[in-house]
C-alpha cells in the first residue's frame, strides 16, 4: 500500500472542500498552521486560492530554520574557522544569512562544512577523523530532538570523544503560549504539527483549549489530511467547542512516543531559548544535560561577532503571523529565494519562500 | 524540517534497519521505536524511525475521504 498517493486524490479534495465551504458559509475563519511542513504543503497544493475568501491561513513559528537567530549562525561560522574543525549540519541551514556571512560562503572560503540528511552521518565523520573536532549543528523541534539524542547516545557508546553538539533545539508549547497570549493576531483555531505530536502526544496542547478556547486539530501533511483538518476546525467553531483532536491518527497517538521521549530526556534538559520574532522564551529550548556536558560545543571558546539583524527584514513579524510576507518591503524585491535576506525566504518551508514560489499558481483543476 | 515519510522496513539488525519507499532504500536508526518488525511501515525522519504507521488508522482516515466523495456524488 502506498500511504502517500491515497491522500492526494483530487476528487476527494474537492468533496472535502465543498464540505468546508458549506459548513463555514456563514462567516470567515482565520486559522494558523503552526508547522512549516504544513505551510509548504498548503502552498504546494494551491489550497489558499481554493479556500479564499472564507478560510484564511496564517503560518506560525514551526520552521526551525526561520526561528533560529543570527547569533547561533554567527557562532557556528566562527567555529567553522577554527583549525581542525568539521561542521556537520542539516542542509537547510547552509544558505541562511547570519550577521555577515552564510555557512555556504564559509565553505566556499575553505571551511570544512558538510550538509547531511541525518545526525547519524556525524558518527562516521567523527569516527574517521579522530584528530579533528566534529560539531553537529542541532536545530529542530521535538520531532528532531530525539534523533539527535539517539546520535549522542551512540557516540558515547562508541567512545567518540571528538563529536560535539551546538544546540538550538526548541520545543513548541511555550512558543504556542506566546502566540496565543500575545494578542497580536486573532485566531479561530490551530492546525497543530503532526510529527512533533507523534513524539509529544496531545497533552502538551491542552492549555490551548482550556486557557485560550482555541479549537485545535493535529494534522497530517498530505492535501486531503489538511482539508479534513480544516473541516474539523470549522465544525468545532460552529459547535462552539475547543478540543484537541487528532486527524493524523496513522502517526499520532494521544500519548505520543514514550520511548523517544525517554531517549530525549536522557540526553537533554530544558533551557531558555532565543527565537527569531518571539525573543527569549524560558523553558523553550533543549541543551545537553550534565552527563553529556563534555560533548557540548557551546562551551568552546571562540570570538563571535555581535549579532545584528538586517534592518529591513520582517521575518520576526511573519513568524508571529502578524504580517503576510508581501507586506514586507524586501519581499520579492531585494529578498528572493536566490538571494535571501531573511531566514523565512531561505528555508524550503519558510513562509516567504512558499508565498514567493507558489503565489501565482492556479488551483489544481 | 519535521518532514517524515512512511517507509517499509525490509530488514534490521540491532538498532539499524533498511527501509524502502518507491525503490529508494535507506539505512535508519530504530532506537526510538518499540518492537520493530519486518513489513512494518515506519514514519522516518532525519535518519530515524520516529513511530510505526498504524494501517488501520490510515484506512479509517481514507474511509472518511471516500465517504465525503460518495455523499457529494449522491
- pLDDT, tens digit, for every residue of B2-49? 889 999 999 999 999 999 999 999 999 999 999 999 999 999 999 999
CB contact under 8 A, A141 and B2: yes
What phi, psi does A323 have (nearest 5°)? -135, 155
How far apart (Å, rounded) are the C-alpha atoms in residues A302 and A335? 31
Could you say which DSSP state residue A256 is in? -
Decide: helix, strand or coil at residue A329: coil
How far apart (Å, rounded) are the C-alpha atoms in residues A190 and A176? 10
- Shortest distance, CA A307 to any CA of chain B (angstroms): 24
CB contact under 8 A, B2 and A62: yes
Number of domains in chain B: 1
Using a CB-CB distance cutoff of 8 angstroms, which residues of chain A are in contact with residue B2? Answer: 35-37, 62, 64, 140-141, 143-144, 193-196
Residue A331 binned pLDDT confidence (cut-offs 50, 70, 90):
very high
A73/A163 same-domain check: yes
- Domain of A239, CATH number, reads 3.40.50.11750
Whole-prediction pTM value?
A: 0.95
A166/A75 same-domain check: yes
Angstrom CA distances, B46 to A65, A125, A286, B29, B37, stand at 15, 16, 18, 9, 20
Domain that holds residue B57: 5-73
A270/A236 same-domain check: no
- Sign of torsion over alpha carbons A12, A14, A19, A20: positive
| Contact of A260 with B29, CB cutoff 8 Å | no
How far apart (Å, rounded) are the C-alpha atoms in residues A37 and A33? 9
How far apart (Å, rounded) are the C-alpha atoms in residues A226 and A13? 10
Stated as kind and residue range, the H or E segment containing A311 is: none
How far apart (Å, rounded) are the C-alpha atoms in residues A197 and A142? 8
A223/A346 same-domain check: no
Using a CB-CB distance cutoff of 8 angstroms, which residues of chain B are in contact with residue A146? Answer: 32, 48, 50
CB contact under 8 A, B1 and A65: yes
pLDDT at A361 over 70: no
Stated as kind and residue range, the H or E segment containing A46 is: none
Q: How far is CA A114 from the centre of its chain?
A: 21
**Pick from A246, A280, A311: which residue ends a domain?**
A246
How far apart (Å, rounded) are the C-alpha atoms in residues A141 and B22? 28
| A73 in any annotated domain | yes
pLDDT at A41 over 70: yes
- Shortest distance, CA B16 to any CA of chain A (angstroms): 11
How far apart (Å, rounded) are the C-alpha atoms in residues B66 and B45? 29
How far apart (Å, rounded) are the C-alpha atoms in residues B15 and A30? 44
pLDDT for A33 equals 96
Number of domains in chain A: 3
A51/A176 same-domain check: yes
- Domain of B53, CATH number, reads 2.30.30.140
Stretch A267-280: mean pLDDT, rounded?
Answer: 95
A132/A276 same-domain check: yes
A195/A333 same-domain check: no
CA atoms within 13 A of residue B23's CA, in its CB half-sphere: 0
Strand partners, A286: A270
pLDDT for A179 equals 92
Domain that holds residue A351: 326-358
pLDDT for A339 equals 87
pLDDT for A360 equals 59
How far apart (Å, rounded) are the C-alpha atoms in residues A217 and A236? 10
Using a CB-CB distance cutoff of 8 angstroms, which residues of chain A are in contact with residue B33? Answer: 257, 259-260
Region for B65 from its dihedrals, namely left if φ exceeds 0, alpha if ψ lies in -120 to 50, beta otherwise? alpha
User: Which residues of A, range 255-294, sit inside 8 Å of B by Cβ?
Assistant: 257, 259-260, 263
Using a CB-CB distance cutoff of 8 angstroms, which residues of chain B are in contact with residue A259? Answer: 32-34
pLDDT for B14 equals 95
| Contact of A30 with A187, CB cutoff 8 Å | yes
A151/A211 same-domain check: no
**Cα end-to-end distance, chain A, whole Å:** 26
A75/A132 same-domain check: yes
Nearest chain A Cα to B74, which residue?
A15
| A317 in any annotated domain | no
- Of residues A62, A58, A244, A229, the one with CA closest to residue A142: A62
CB contact under 8 A, B48 and A150: yes
Whether residue A139 lies within 8 A of chain B, CB to CB, comes out as yes
A92/A166 same-domain check: yes
A99/A155 same-domain check: yes
How far apart (Å, rounded) are the C-alpha atoms in residues A33 and A59? 5
- Shortest distance, CA B9 to any CA of chain A (angstroms): 13
- Per-residue pLDDT of A208-228, as tens digits, reads 999 999 999 999 999 999 999
A73/A33 same-domain check: no
Amino acid at each position: 500500500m502506498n500511504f502517500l498517493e491515497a491522500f492526494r486524490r483530487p476528487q476527494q479534495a474537492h468533496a472535502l472542500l465543498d464540505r468546508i465551504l458549506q459548513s463555514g458559509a456563514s462567516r470567515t475563519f482565520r486559522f494558523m498552521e503552526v508547522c512549516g511542513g504544513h505551510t509548504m504543503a498548503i502552498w504546494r497544493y494551491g489550497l489558499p486560492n481554493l479556500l479564499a475568501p472564507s478560510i484564511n491561513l496564517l503560518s506560525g513559528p514551526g520552521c526551525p530554520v526561520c526561528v533560529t537567530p543570527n547569533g547561533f549562525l554567527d557562532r557556528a561560522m566562527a567555529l567553522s574557522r577554527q583549525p581542525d574543525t568539521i561542521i556537520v549540519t542539516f542542509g537547510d541551514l547552509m544558505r541562511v544569512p547570519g550577521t555577515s556571512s552564510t555557512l555556504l560562503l564559509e565553505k566556499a572560503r575553505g571551511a570544512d562544512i558538510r550538509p547531511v540528511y541525518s545526525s547519524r552521518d556525524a558518527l562516521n565523520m567523527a569516527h574517521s577523523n579522530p584528530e579533528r573536532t566534529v560539531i553537529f549543528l542541532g536545530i529542530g523541534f521535538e520531532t528532531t530532538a530525539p534523533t539527535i539524542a539517539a546520535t549522542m547516545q551512540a557516540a558515547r557508546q562508541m567512545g567518540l570523544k571528538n563529536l560535539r553538539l551546538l544546540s538550538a533545539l526548541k520545543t513548541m508549547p511555550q512558543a504556542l503560549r506566546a502566540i496565543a497570549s500575545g494578542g497580536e493576531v486573532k485566531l479561530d483555531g490551530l492546525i497543530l504539527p503532526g510529527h512533533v505530536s507523534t513524539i509529544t502526544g496531545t497533552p502538551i496542547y491542552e492549555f490551548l483549549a482550556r486557557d485560550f478556547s482555541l479549537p485545535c486539530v493535529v494534522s497530517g501533511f498530505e492535501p486531503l489530511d489538511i482539508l479534513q483538518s480544516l473541516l474539523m476546525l470549522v465544525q468545532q467553531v460552529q459547535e462552539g467547542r475547543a478540543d484537541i483532536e487528532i486527524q493524523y491518527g496513522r502517526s499520532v497517538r494521544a500519548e505520543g512516543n514514550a520511548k523517544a521521549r525517554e531517549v530525549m530526556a536522557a540526553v537533554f534538559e530544558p533551557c531558555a531559548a532565543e527565537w527569531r520574532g518571539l525573543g527569549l522564551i524560558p523553558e523553550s529550548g533543549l541543551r545537553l544535560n550534565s552527563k553529556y556536558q563534555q560533548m557540548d560545543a557551546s562551551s568552546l571558546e571562540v570570538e563571535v561577532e555581535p549579532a545584528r539583524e538586517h534592518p529591513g527584514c520582517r521575518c520576526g513579524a511573519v513568524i508571529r503571523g502578524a504580517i503576510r510576507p508581501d507586506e514586507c518591503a524586501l519581499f520579492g524585491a531585494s529578498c528572493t529565494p536566490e538571494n535571501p535576506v531573511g531566514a523565512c525566504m531561505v528555508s524550503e518551508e519558510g513562509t516567504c519562500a512558499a508565498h514567493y514560489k507558489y503565489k501565482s499558481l492556479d488551483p489544481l483543476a | 524540517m519535521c518532514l517524515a515519510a512512511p517507509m517499509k522496513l525490509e530488514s534490521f539488525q540491532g538498532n539499524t534497519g533498511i527501509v524502502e519507499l518507491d525503490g529508494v532504500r535507506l539505512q535508519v536508526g530504530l532506537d526510538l521505536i518499540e518492537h520493530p518488525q519486518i513489513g512494518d511501515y515506519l514514519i522516518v525522519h532525519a535518519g530515524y524511525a520516529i513511530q510505526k504507521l498504524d494501517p488501520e488508522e490510515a484506512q479509517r482516515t481514507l474511509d472518511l475521504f471516500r465517504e465525503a466523495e460518495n455523499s457529494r456524488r449522491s
